[in-house]
Amino acid sequence: MKRREFLRSAAAGAAALGLESCAHVRHGVKGPPARRPNVVYVFADQWRAQATGFAGDPNVRTQNLDRLAGEALNLHNAVSGWPVCSPYRGSLITGQYPHTNGVFLNDVCLGNDSVSIAEAFGGAGYQTAYIGKWHLDGHGRSNYIPPERRHGFDFWRVLECTHDYNNSLYYGDADVKLKWDGYDVFAQTREAQQYIRKHAAAGPFALFLSWGPPHNPYETAPEEFRAMYDPAKLALRPNVPKQAEESSRKDLAGYYAHCTALDQCVGELRKTLEETGIVNDTVFVFTSDHGDMLGSQGEIRKQRPWDESIRVPFLIHYPEGLGTQARSDELIINSPDIMPTLLGLCGIDVPHTVEGTDFSAVLRGTSTKRPEGALLACYHPFGEWTRPKGGREYRGVRTERYTYVRALDGPWLLYDNETDPYQLRNRCGDADVASVQKHLEALLSRTLRDVNDAFLPGDAYVRRWNYTTDKNGTVPYAP
């Protein structure tokens, strides 16, 4: 079925069934909701899984997220398989791997060949909204994005990309630049609250709120939050080497300030859901597009295959569908799995163009079918992880216990994350774990076959998609 045919079919089905009915979902999910729930999907930029109170970070103050974790489903093994901004977002919007949709670099344009998450929700009768950072248009970071390139989102308060959080612009319906008031996270959250209040009684909606922080620049959070963190008093992770301690503490102080500001916004959003009476029948998700090394392993930022880069927080609160008892789940959910799982939780057919897996039955406890691991990838190193800085193509798997990574020239990393949670000892090639490495290599090879990934040199993908890159492997972009 072609993309256009799917959209016509979905719209006709929604009209025929009415909003109170639910379609059957892939993977045989039993007991779909009596009424399709709302969705509020909130994601930060570069917030690593380790940086919350509920995850055990001794420094950061995240009282609202800690409270949410006490009431929600915590997918503590969630990963961002290609931990970079645009590739994650391409997978979120399409449910596809980057080598399929072509978004394996930042600042390229996501095509219209597949059914988007907004189109799938819209075809089921949902109102759809996107607020904040987009980074999927590839026509300049501050240019207007016309409706035909918004991938089905109705309500639109968006800028392609900015990290100037206190002087942040955006577009609404027209080609007119508007400006968020003050620290953009606060203004974007108020916009989301207003949207929720307006649509709470009008039927199901799917709202995506994309914040720019805690992505660097770290020092730009509001002063009241920066004052909470003294770099000299911060406890560092054991995998931060001596030479990186000073810069790591400085960066972490600002990073945590952003995190606490965002945490306050999570509390405000949840209060709005409670006040409008829809908190129980809303799928509320808090997560991030990827993590941040922040000095661990002597590295900064993302793209790397270590846990601080690939692992992200992932909390789901949906009382009517998943119950009210807080619990952690070992499920290893990857970026392409988010779209089908959200659709599954809402009783909506998963489009044929999706490559990820619908885990809604697993979350409901009606299926025990779980993946052994999630695919990790760097298709083409660029930007802050160039080849002179150690950047390289890789493919790997993250299982509940192990991380195994292969580069183009052979096996590269193997960590036992149970006995070595800070990934301080690379066991790759060790004779005493040879059987483990063999098993993980077989798992990786099988996973690559399953997703049709030939693991080619990065330049082959650049040529296939006809991209132009500079000496750093980056696609040049207009500000």
pLDDT tens digit string along 260-285?
999 999 999 999 999 999 999 999 99
Classify 264 as helix, strand or coil.
helix
Q: At what angle do helices 335-345 and 85-94 cross, to 10 degrees?
A: 30
Per-residue confidence (pLDDT) for residue 405, from 0 to 100: 98
CB 123, CB 13: distance < 8 Å = yes
Instruction: Note the maximum CA span of the chain.
Output: 64
Per-residue confidence (pLDDT) for residue 3, from 0 to 100: 61
Supply 220's token pair.
Answer: 């730009």
**Cβ atoms < 10 Å from Cβ of 327:** 9
Global confidence as pTM: 0.94
Note the Cα 373 to chain centre separation in Å: 17
CA distances from 134 to 40, 45, 91, 177, 218 (A): 16, 11, 13, 15, 20
**How many Cα atoms sit within 13 Å of 175 on the Cβ side?**
5
**Among the listed residues 329, 360, 334, the one whose alpha carbon sits nearest the alpha carbon of residue 28:** 360
Residue spans in the chain of domains classed CATH 3.40.720.10: 3-363
Residues 105, 379: Cα–Cα separation, whole Å: 8
Residue spans in the chain of domains classed CATH 3.30.1120.10: 374-464
> Long-range pairs for 357-361 at CB < 8 Å and ≥24 separation?
357/27, 358/25, 358/26, 358/27, 358/29, 359/331, 359/333, 360/25, 360/27, 360/29, 361/27, 361/28, 361/29, 361/30
Q: Which CATH number fits domain 374-464: 3.40.50.150, 3.40.50.360, 3.30.1120.10, 3.40.120.10?
A: 3.30.1120.10
Q: Which residues are catalytic?
A: 85, 135
**Among the listed residues 42, 111, 87, the one whose alpha carbon sits nearest the alpha carbon of residue 335:** 87
> Model confidence over 218-237: pLDDT tens digits?
999 999 999 999 999 999 99
Residue numbers in the chain where pLDDT is lower than 70: 1-34
Residues 182, 260: Cα–Cα separation, whole Å: 17
Q: Is 407 left (phi over 0), alpha (psi -120 to 50) or beta?
A: beta
Q: Give the full edge-to-edge strand order of the sheet including 38-45.
A: 177-179, 169-171, 155-159, 127-133, 205-214, 38-45, 282-288, 314-317, 73-75, 327-329
Q: What is the dihedral of CA 445, 450, 456, 458, to 10 degrees?
A: -120
Kindly tell me the burial class for residue 236, based on how many C-beta atoms sit within 10 Å of its own C-beta (0-12, 13-18, 19 or more): middle
Residue 23, C-beta contacts closer than 8 angstroms, at least 6 positions apart = 13, 17, 32, 124, 347, 348, 349
Task: Give the CATH number of domain 3-363.
Answer: 3.40.720.10
Per-residue confidence (pLDDT) for residue 329, from 0 to 100: 96
Supply 362's token pair.
Answer: 């697993």
What's the one-letter identity of residue 127?
A: Q
Backbone angles phi, psi at 341, to 5 degrees: -70, -40
Supply 41's token pair.
Answer: 């999907």
